[in-house]
Amino acid sequence: MALGRTKVAVIGCGSVGSTLAYSIVSNQLCNELLLIDINKKKVWADATDLQHSLGFSNSRVHIQDGEYKDCGDADVIVVTIGAPYKLGMTRLDMYEKARAIVDTIIPPVMASGFSGIFVVVSNPVDLMTRYIWKLSGLPHERVIGTGTLLDSSRLRMYLADLLDVDPRSVNAICMGEHGDSQMIPWSQATVGGKPFLHILADDPERFGRIDLDKIQDEIAHIAYEVVASKGATYYGIASVTAQVIRAILYDENKVLPVSCMLNGEYGFSGIYAGVPAVVTSSGIKELVTYHLTPEEQRRFAASVEVLKGYEA
Residue 2 has pLDDT above 60, yes or no: no
Q: How confident is the model over 101-114, as a mean pLDDT?
A: 97
> Is residue 115 predicted with pLDDT exceeding 60?
yes
- Whether the per-residue pLDDT at 94 is higher than 80: the answer is no
User: Has domain 149-308 been given CATH number 3.20.20.70?
Assistant: no
User: At 146, is the pLDDT very low, low, confident or very high (cuts 50, 70, 90)?
Assistant: very high
State the SS3 of the chain.
Answer: CCCCCCEEEEECCCHHHHHHHHHHHHCCCCCEEEEECCCHHHHHHHHHHHHHCCCCCCCCCEEEECCHHHHCCCCEEEECCCCCCCCCCCHHHHHHHHHHHHCCCHHHHHHCCCCCEEEECCCCHHHHHHHHHHHHCCCHHHEEECCCHHHHHHHHHHHHHHHCCCHHHEECCCEECCCCCCECCHHHCEECCEEHHHHHHHCHHHHCCCCHHHHHHHHHHHHHHHHHHHCCCCHHHHHHHHHHHHHHHCCCCEEEEEEEEEECHHHCEEEEEEEEEEEECCEEEEECCCCCCHHHHHHHHHHHHHHHCCCC
The CB density around residue 247, as the number of other CB atoms within 10 Å, is: 21
Tell me what pLDDT residue 58 has: 86
Give the integer Cα–Cα distance in Å for 273 and 176.
5
Kindly state the average pLDDT of the residues 114-140.
97
What is the average pLDDT score of the chain?
94
pLDDT tens by residue, 207-251: 989 999 999 999 999 998 998 899 889 999 999 999 999 999 999
Is 83 a residue whose pLDDT tops 80? Answer: no
Q: Which residues are catalytic?
A: 178
Q: How confident is the model at residue 91 (pLDDT cuts 50, 70, 90)?
A: confident
Query: Among 72-76, 133-137, 220-224, where is mean pLDDT lowest?
Result: 220-224
The CA distance from 71 to 8, in Å, is: 9
Residue 86 has pLDDT above 70, yes or no: no
Domain 7-145 indexed as CATH 3.40.50.1100: no
- pLDDT on residue 1: 43
Per-residue burial over 29-49, b if 16 or more Cβ lie within 10 Å, else e, is bbebbbbbbeeeebbeebbee
Q: Tell me how far apart the alpha carbons of residues 238 and 234 are, in angstroms, rounded to a whole number.
A: 6
What is the pLDDT at residue 29?
Answer: 97
Confidence band, pLDDT 50/70/90 cuts, at residue 84: low
- State residue 85's pLDDT score: 65
Residues 61, 36 contacting (CB under 8 angstroms): no
pLDDT reading at 35 higher than 50: yes
Q: CA nearest 183: which of 305, 301, 300, 307?
A: 300
How remote is the C-alpha of 229 from its chain's centroid? 22
90: pLDDT strictly greater than 60: yes
The C-alpha R_g of the chain, in whole angstroms, comes to: 19
* Residues 7-17, mean pLDDT to the nearest whole number: 97
The answer to whether the beta carbons of residues 128 and 158 sit under 8 Å apart is no
Per-residue pLDDT, 111: 98
Higher pLDDT, 74 or 1: 74
**Can you tell me the mean pLDDT for 176-193?**
97
7-145 and 149-308 have identical folds: no
Q: pLDDT band at residue 89, thresholds of 50, 70 and 90? A: low
pLDDT of residue 87: 63
Amino acid at 27: N
Query: What global pTM score does this model have?
Result: 0.95
CA 251 from chain centre, in angstroms, equals 17
- Rounded to whole angstroms, how far apart are CA atoms 14 and 42? 9
Each domain of the chain, given as residue ranges in start order, spans: 7-145, 149-308
Mean pLDDT of 273-282: 98
Strands 194-195 and 254-263, by their bridges, are unpaired
Residues 6+ apart with CB under 8 A from 37: 11, 12, 13, 14, 17, 43, 46, 65, 81
